[in-house]
Amino acid sequence: MEARHGPESLSPPQIAAMRRSMTSGRMALTRRSLLRAGGAGAVAVGGLGALGGCGIPPAGRTEADNASDDHSAEEKRLAFSNWTEYMDTGKGGRHPTLDAFQRRTGIKVKYTEDINDNVEFFGKIKPQLAAGQDTGRDLICVTDWLAARMIRLGWIQPLDPAQLPHAYTNLAKPFRTPDWDPGRAHSYPWTGIPAVIAYNKKATGGRKVTSVSQLLDDPKLKGRVGLLTEMRDTVGLTLLDMGKNPETVTADDYDAAIARLQKASDRGQVRRFTGNDYTGDLTKGDIAACMAWAGDLIQLQSDNPEIEFAIPDAGYMTATDNLLVPSKARHKRNAERLIDYFYEPKVAAKIAAYINYVCPVDGVREELAKIDKALADNPLILPDEEMAAKSHSFRSLSSKEEAAFEDKFAKLTGA
Amino acid sequence: MSITATPDAAPDDGPAPDAGPVRKPPLRKPAVRKRLVPYWLLLPGILWLLIFFAAPLIYQASTSVQTGSLEAGFKVTWHFQTYWDALTEYYPHFLRSVLYAATATALCLLLGYPLAYLIAFRAGRWRNLVMILVIAPFFTSFLIRTLAWKTILADSGPVVGALNSLHILDVTSYLGITEGQRVLATPLAVVCGLTYNFLPFMILPLYTSLERIDPRLHEAAGDLYARPITIFRKVTFPLSMPGVVAGTLLTFIPAAGDYINAELLGSTDQKMIGNVIQSQFLRVLDYPTAAALSFILMAAILTMVTVYIRKSGTEDLV
């Protein structure tokens, strides 16, 4: 008998079946796929000519481009895109403050929580805005640096102060004149977002963590430190710790801060750079101490008493999320009415009580105290004077600087 | 010959109405139509490919040779330097992606083959149930499944606790695949995540090809005094090669481009090429570099796959 168990010993139909399974099964991709790839290559060579014709036009637009026909009068509605968990929510997923707005004005708000990440949201709406088209959104809420970029690109409609009496009067002083939108001509802040230090008492063994230096150097925290993927918060806090001012940061300051962070990262001090997902790691204790956003902390503390926060003596960063009306939006007037409504202290207090971020509205303290005394006294929602004095923001960057800074920061985070 | 074959009838829609009784029907028209039918049937697929595959590909190819900025716009300047810059800057990420994806694929094969074998030949009436269990993870989102690993591998969790008390982590730390007393935020966690997430893509094709094997071939081999190991080596494994090749491709290709596992389960030193592309595209807004990196990745994978298929392809089998 032959040692080989070749197909010779099979019946013709069996051989045929085996051949079939190999030539028309998945394996059939071999030669044909190569041919196809070759064909695609040929097409690609022929298409090179077509490539030259492509290009991405300048993204910037002028003010005249983005003025839109306003349909607010005849269409009593508007579309508002916001972050998740950023609006008071009642039974059945309804939003009581928005319902109250509709009862008062007859304007129906189509509220969508479709912003999870600034850069992703920018990628999503960029094609329409760059082409000068309506995004289908009348009001959006994005973080200050993105708001600055969009205003710089001319994608945002200027607001009419005459339509915003409450907003104009009640906007708290620290929020009035950001360097990227002087006089708040295009934007109104939705919330302030302090970036501070948080730690898990159990994981640190009862140690207090109060400074960025400690985060980056304390050997007891090695491998259990979390930093934020938000460049301005992580680098800003580090700059403050180094005695530099993020409001006037130079390229050299920036490089020095990156080098400081890189050193800590190379030593294995840093476990991860995270977005919002640090909350889970901190609760479990996988991250012992980290940079964290104040609004998350109030929630985390109520779930886990081991979580503590610290305001660094060197100061902390406050970013803002801002309400903007994108160009070509059909219901600008309605959007302005909604912004103005949010600046009534009663309404602002209701939202602040729910979302727990810094409220940029003057006169909200009394209203918030009526809802919950503890919240009104919480410096993470309404910073007292001592704390407010330590608040800093990152200076606005030109697009070239921004690209260079982001590239250096991306390298620091490993990508 | 027949009247209908005259030139003036040719461009007509069909045979003339009075052509009925002619014995030889005009052959040409229906034949042409018949020949065209496959193309008509292919048309939707071809259109789909053109719109959703070819067009974006050409657009990306064009982007990769442009220069400019978001504000000034990007223009095609045939700046091929971008490719070289991207490659020299990010080659560690490429190597890491290939290494992680290859390791995960090998692990998938080691884990998936016995399971697929079991389902195909031994599961009996449990076969459908086990298949459902294999597919079940797909009912939850990729993200949630990956996040679940953060709980499973938590520093203070039972898995890491057990590995620690068995001093296994000391060994893996020494080998450089974990760090200190933790598994999360290390290469091991990323490879585990990749293996877990792509395992079904390995099992399904393996099962399909194993299931097609006639069990009588095993009996025949046994009758010819082949030991079980010989039967596996000479009969089962060669016949399952289509499944092995398909499974490794379906695992390796998406794993090499994956960035979720490295993002959630890794740290700064575990970032893969997908993370770089994502960050260049969304954060740095350097579209040409992102596009060039995508093309390098595509070319690298295509080359590797071609070589692989050549080496283990049908040529040896038929």
ipTM of the complex: 0.83
* Contact with chain A for residue B61, Cβ under 8 A: yes
Flag residues of chain A having pLDDT under 70.
Answer: 1-54, 62-68
Do A403 and B212 lie within an 8 Å CB cutoff?
no
Tokens linked to A3: 């040692």
**3-state secondary structure string across B207-264:** HHHHHCCCHHHHHHHHHCCCCHHHHHHHHHHHHHHHHHHHHHHHHHHHHHHCCHHHHH
Strand ranges, E, within A294-381: 307-310, 316-324
Distances (CA, A) of B181 to A222, B165, B169: 11, 10, 6
Q: How many residues does chain B have?
A: 318
Residue type, A384: D
Check if the beta carbon of residue A381 is closer than 8 Å to that of residue A368. yes
In the beta sheet, which residues pair with residue A192? A320, A358
Superfamily (CATH) of domain A193-318+399-412? Periplasmic binding protein-like II (3.40.190.10)
Count of alpha carbons within 13 Å of B265, Cβ hemisphere only? Answer: 33
Do B313 and A280 lie within an 8 Å CB cutoff?
no
Residue A50: the pLDDT is 60
DSSP characters over B79-116: -THHHHHHHHHHHHHHHHHHHHHHHHHHHHHHHHHHHH
**What is the residue extent of each domain of chain A?**
64-191+321-380, 193-318+399-412
Residue B70: the pLDDT is 85
Selected residue of A11, A23, A26 to mutate for chain B interface (largest B Cβ count, 10 A): A26
Selected residue of B69, B85, B150, B155 to mutate for chain A interface (largest A Cβ count, 10 A): B155
Do A26 and B242 lie within an 8 Å CB cutoff?
yes
DSSP characters over A172-215: -GGGS--TTSGGGSSEEEEEEEEEEEEEEHHHHTT-----HHHH
Q: What are phi and psi of A310, to 5 degrees?
A: -140, 135
- For residue A286, the chain B residues in CB contact (below 8 A) are 150, 154-156, 182, 184
CA dist., res. A339 & res. A139, Å (int)? 9
Do A26 and B93 lie within an 8 Å CB cutoff?
no
Nearest partner of B106 among B272, B284, B267, B252, judged by Cα: B252
Residue type, B280: Q
Residue A1: the pLDDT is 39
Shortest distance between the Cα of A78 and any Cα of chain B, in A, equals 28
* Contact with chain A for residue B171, Cβ under 8 A: no
Do A55 and B71 lie within an 8 Å CB cutoff?
no
Shortest distance between the Cα of B108 and any Cα of chain A, in A, equals 19
Residue B69: the pLDDT is 86
Residue A43: the pLDDT is 52
Do A26 and B205 lie within an 8 Å CB cutoff?
yes
- Following CA atoms A134, A138, A139, A140 in sequence, which dihedral angle do they give, to the nearest 10 degrees? -30
Nearest partner of A68 among A1, A144, A146, A128, judged by Cα: A128
Selected residue of A272, A282, A402 to mutate for chain B interface (largest B Cβ count, 10 A): A272
Do B73 and A57 lie within an 8 Å CB cutoff?
yes
Task: Give per-residue pLDDT as tens, B218-229.
Answer: 999 999 999 999
For residue A109, what is the enclosing H or E element? strand A108-115
Tokens linked to A414: 């490993």
CA dist., res. B265 & res. B194, Å (int)? 10
Check if the beta carbon of residue A343 is closer than 8 Å to that of residue A189. no
Tokens linked to A237: 């806090």
Do A277 and B78 lie within an 8 Å CB cutoff?
no
Do A270 and B78 lie within an 8 Å CB cutoff?
no
Q: Please, what's the largest Cα pairwise distance for chain B?
A: 94
Closest residue in A to B231 (Cα) is A5
Enumerate residues 88 to 107 of chain B having a beta carbon within 8 A of any beta carbon in chain A: 93
Residue B28: the pLDDT is 59
CA dist., res. A190 & res. A324, Å (int)? 10
Q: If phi over 0 gives left and psi between -120 and 50 gives alpha, with beta otherwise, what is residue A172?
A: beta
- For residue A265, the chain B residues in CB contact (below 8 A) are 268
Closest residue in A to B278 (Cα) is A415
In the beta sheet, which residues pair with residue A111? A80
Check if the beta carbon of residue A136 is closer than 8 Å to that of residue A185. no
- This prediction has a pTM of 0.84
Enumerate residues 118 to 137 of chain B having a beta carbon within 8 A of any beta carbon in chain A: none
- How does DSSP classify residue B54? I
Query: Which CATH number is A64-191+321-380 given?
Result: 3.40.190.10
- For residue B73, the chain A residues in CB contact (below 8 A) are 55-59
CA gyration radius, chain A: 27
Closest residue in B to A231 (Cα) is B283
A30 vs B185, B221, B314: nearest CB: B314
CA dist., res. B191 & res. A77, Å (int)? 49
The helix-helix angle for B273-282 and B237-257 (nearest 10°) equals 30
Residue A9: the pLDDT is 55
- For residue B285, the chain A residues in CB contact (below 8 A) are 403, 406
B75 vs A55, A120, A273: nearest CB: A55
CA dist., res. B89 & res. B112, Å (int)? 36
- CA A103, A105, A110, A112 dihedral sign is negative
Nearest partner of B260 among B84, B100, B116, judged by Cα: B100
- For residue A52, the chain B residues in CB contact (below 8 A) are 62, 76, 78
Enumerate residues 231 to 250 of chain B having a beta carbon within 8 A of any beta carbon in chain A: 234-235, 239, 241-243, 245-246
Do A412 and B268 lie within an 8 Å CB cutoff?
yes
B71 vs A50, A58, A268: nearest CB: A58
- For residue A31, the chain B residues in CB contact (below 8 A) are 313-314
CA dist., res. A344 & res. A350, Å (int)? 10
Do A59 and B284 lie within an 8 Å CB cutoff?
no
CA dist., res. B22 & res. A352, Å (int)? 89
At a CB cut-off of 8 Å and minimum separation 6, what does B14 contact? B29
State whether residue A225 is helix, strand or coil.
strand
State whether residue A321 is helix, strand or coil.
strand
Long-range own/partner contacts, residues B277-281 (CB < 8 A, 24 or more apart): B278/A415, B279/A410, B279/A413, B279/A415, B280/A410, B281/A123
Flag residues of chain B having pLDDT under 50.
Answer: 1-17, 19-20, 315-318
State whether residue A274 is helix, strand or coil.
strand
The helix-helix angle for B287-312 and B237-257 (nearest 10°) equals 170
CATH topology of domain B82-316: MetI-like fold (1.10.3720)
- For residue B218, the chain A residues in CB contact (below 8 A) are none
**In which residue ranges of chain B is CATH 1.10.3720.10 found?**
82-316
* Domains A64-191+321-380 and A193-318+399-412 fall in the same CATH topology: yes
* Contact with chain A for residue B223, Cβ under 8 A: no
Residue A16: the pLDDT is 61
